[in-house]
Amino acid sequence: MQSWNVNVGPLPGAERQRRWLDAMQRLCLPIGQLDEPEQFNGRLSCLTSPGGVEFALVEADALEISGDYPAQQPAIWLTLLLEGRAQIIDRERQVEVLPGDLLFGPTGVDATLRFNTAFRQLFIKAPRCALSPRLIPGFRSHVGHIDGQRGIARVFSGMLGALAGAMDDVRPEELVAVELALTEFLVACIAAGEHPDAGFGVGSGVREACLQRVCQSIEARLGDPELNLATIAKEHGVSPRYLQKLFALAGKTFSSYVRTRRLERCRTDLVNPLYARLSISEICFRWGFNCSSHFSRAFREQYQNSPREYRRGAGMVATESAIP
């Protein structure tokens, strides 16, 4: 199901806790017993995008989300506090969370998010395959906190806040553009702040910053079939060998990174209603592939489906190319 809603307010007191616990379990958010279960009020609306990203607007009385939820696929979560006050407790660290602030981290981490008052938040959970690999290698076992009042984080917070305000009017297929923006904004916020627990994992802060800039340049040129290591190295004033070393420290190669990013862009476009009339060949060419058969093989290797199978599985009706 792509969308669902829960509102426990109209329910009899004895039913409220059970229904709310069921809803939290569906989101894989572990909570304990509620303090006043028969008086508890909470409601949520959840949309799932074609790429499998969940967007849940949650409004509830004070509660605590604590522990991990091992019975779920590896994913990255992100939450924006819209109203109320909260604390995030991760290992020995405790941080106050104010409206507009963002939290992020990998699923499976044992942490506590304590809402001290009634609250409203936008919770997002994305499968790892739905996000850029730029976010994956460096995510450690910590939760990150982003001050949503400054710089690019304020823009990101404002965008997600606007989405929360429009949840009742947004269709799941319209969330594709938000999917694309999530990675770009989160990478930019991490690069702009001090988040040693959320980077590429290449060691030095100087190397980390350089690789972030390089990947932003690559992102802007993915549609260029002539994109190559030497050009990007020259643009950033480093040698090709040094650039290769940076990618190696992140567990990648330049060519594999570019290919993966192009495949991700194509995968997103294949299920984007805006591009339903584009053929599969046109989509692969617009992201820098110059051979449709090579693209089809690479796509199947990455996602265990051909581009056509993937598109049909998402329910898209489109102009079909000759790619098998």
Check: CB of residue 292 under 8 Å from CB of residue 319.
no
Stated pTM of the model: 0.71
How far apart, in Å, are the Cα atoms of 303 and each of 49, 295, 296? 17, 12, 11
Which residues are CB-contacts of 238 (< 8 A; sequence separation ≥ 6)? 210
CB 45 within 8 A of CB 167: yes
Q: CA–CA separation, 131 vs 266, rounded Å? A: 13
Cα gap 6→23, rounded to integer Å: 7
Q: Which amino acid is at 204?
A: S
pLDDT at 169 over 60: yes
Q: Answer yes or no: is pLDDT of 192 > 70.
A: no
Residues listed for the chain: 324
Alpha helices in the chain (DSSP H): 13-26, 151-165, 176-192, 205-220, 229-235, 240-249, 254-270, 280-286, 292-303, 307-313
Q: Which one, of 130, 128, 132, 124, lies nearest residue 156 by Cα? A: 124
Percentage above 90 pLDDT, the chain:
47
Q: Please, which residues have CB within 8 angstroms of residue 290's CB and are 6 or more apart in sequence?
A: 225
Per-residue confidence (pLDDT) for residue 147, from 0 to 100: 92
Task: Give which of 87, 95, 99 is closest to 161, Cα–Cα.
Answer: 99
Residue 109 CB neighbours (<10 A): 16
- Going by C-beta distance under 8 Å and a sequence separation of 6 or more, which residues neighbour residue 228? none
Dihedral sign for Cα 133, 302, 284, 78, please.
negative
pLDDT at residue 72, rounded to an integer: 67
Which of these ranges, 145-159, 200-214, 220-234, has the smallest mean pLDDT? 200-214
Tell me the per-residue pLDDT of 35-48, one tens digit each, with 9 for 90 and over: 888 999 999 999 98
By C-alpha distance, which of 81, 200, 240 is closest to 146?
81
Beta strands 75-83; 119-127: pairing state: antiparallel
* pLDDT given for residue 133 in this prediction: 54
Neighbours of 20 (CB within 10 A): 25
pLDDT of amino acid 11: 94
* Residue showing tokens 């069921």: 22
Distance in angstroms (rounded) separating the CA atoms of residues 17 and 22? 8
Q: Which of 188, 252, 244, 176 is nearest to 219 (CA)?
A: 188
91 Ramachandran zone, left/alpha/beta (phi>0; psi -120 to 50): left
pLDDT tens-place string over residues 290-314? 999 999 999 999 989 999 998 887 6
Lowest pLDDT segment from 53-67, 115-129, 193-207, 221-235: 193-207
Task: Give me the pLDDT at residue 294, please.
Answer: 95
Of the ranges 158-162, 185-189, 207-211, the best mean pLDDT one: 158-162
